[in-house]
């Protein structure tokens, strides 16, 4: 009798175990940074010192110059803008930005090859390529010269803005090209190409914007 009941219990246990959902032990976490919509990407505290924590006439570096972030997303071709352009792409824009590459970071300056900050470079490039005069200050540039757009609408020549200071105000700007790449003036590397998916820029990203044509 006990043996028969014992077999019955074993059969029931096996049936119950087969009906339970299979749970994988493989972790679902990922080290890949989540590319969130721009309105969710705000600096929520922490150490804001970085090589992008500068850029317009109202921006101060403060403290030691931060260590430059690895350019894992930027190939050598992009870093030097030696890339193949399609017929519809603005070759003059790329040519002009290539001239600016390597220009040292100099606060409140805007001279190609000698020294510039981020808003100074944007101001000069926009004046030369598009004949549009924009503000010398990144926050005012966004407020008065631009209309915010969604990340999915970004196209060549649009601007990308960042909040890199603890006061919560826009403090950095760059010129978008394509494939998530943008050109800006870094305090540690001067004018360089970076990728919006890099952790620092994704975390401090504020909004994408298009300059209004007057």
> Is residue 25 a part of any domain in this protein?
no
Pairing between β-strand 159-162 and β-strand 205-211 as defined by DSSP bridges: antiparallel
Q: What is the pLDDT of residues 49-79, one digit of tens each?
A: 333 444 333 333 333 344 445 678 999 999 9
Number of domains the chain contains: 1
- Residue of 50, 110, 135, 184 marked active site: 184
Q: Give CA separation, 80 vs 23, 30, 64, 150, 193, in Å.
A: 48, 31, 28, 27, 8
Which pTM value belongs to this model?
0.72
pLDDT band at 7 (very low <50, low <70, confident <90, very high): low
134, pLDDT greater than 60 = yes
Q: Is residue 100 part of a domain?
A: yes
Residue 188 lies in a domain: yes
Sheet holding 146-149, edge to edge: 146-149, 205-211, 159-162, 172-176, 181-186, 190-195
Q: Please report the pLDDT score of residue 4 as a whole number.
A: 53
Average pLDDT (137-160) is 98
Looking at residues 82-97, what average pLDDT do you find? 97
Q: Which residues pair with 115 in a beta bridge?
A: 111
Task: Provide the residue range defining the domain that includes 142.
Answer: 41-61+73-211
CATH code of the domain covering residue 167: 3.90.1720.10
* Tokens describing residue 26: 């493989």
Q: Which position among 50, 112, 118, 206 bears the catalytic label? A: 118
- List CB contacts of 145: < 8 A, sequence separation 6 or more: 132, 134, 135, 211, 212
Known catalytic membership, residue 135 = no
Token pair recorded at residue 165: 């200071």
Residue 186, φ and ψ in degrees, nearest 5: -95, 140
Q: Is residue 28 part of a domain?
A: no
pLDDT at 213: 87
Of the candidates 50, 110, 135, 172, the residue annotated as catalytic is: 172
Residues near 70 by beta carbon (within 8 Å), at least 6 away in sequence: none
In a domain, 17, yes or no: no
For the stretch 179-211, pLDDT in tens is 999 999 998 999 999 999 999 999 999 999 999
pLDDT at 37 over 60: no
Locate 146 and state its tokens. Answer: 């631009």
* Rg of the chain in Å (alpha carbons): 25
Phi, psi of 2 (to 5 degrees): -65, -35
């Amino acid at each position: 009798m006990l043996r028969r009941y014992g077999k019955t219990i074993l059969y029931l246990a096996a049936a119950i175990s087969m009906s339970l959902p299979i749970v994988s032990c493989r972790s679902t976490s990922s080290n890949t940074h989540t590319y969130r919509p721009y309105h969710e990407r705000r600096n929520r505290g922490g150490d804001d010192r970085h090589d992008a924590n500068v850029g317009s006439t109202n921006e101060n570096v403060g403290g030691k110059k931060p260590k430059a972030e690895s350019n894992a997303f930027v190939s050598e071709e992009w870093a030097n803008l030696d890339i193949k352009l399609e017929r519809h792409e603005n070759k003059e824009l790329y040519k002009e930005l290539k001239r600016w590459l390597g220009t040292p970071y100099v606060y409140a300056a805007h001279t190609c090859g000698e020294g510039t900050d981020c808003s100074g470079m944007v101001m000069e490039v926009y004046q030369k390529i598009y004949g549009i005069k924009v503000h010398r200050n990144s926050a005012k540039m966004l407020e008065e010269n631009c209309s915010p757009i969604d990340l999915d609408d970004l196209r060549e020549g649009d601007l990308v803005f960042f909040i890199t200071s603890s006061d919560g105000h826009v403090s950095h700007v760059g010129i978008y090209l394509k494939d998530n790449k943008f050109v800006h003036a870094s305090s540690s590397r001067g004018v360089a190409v970076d990728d919006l998916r890099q952790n620092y820029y994704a975390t401090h990203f504020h909004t994408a914007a298009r300059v209004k044509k007057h």
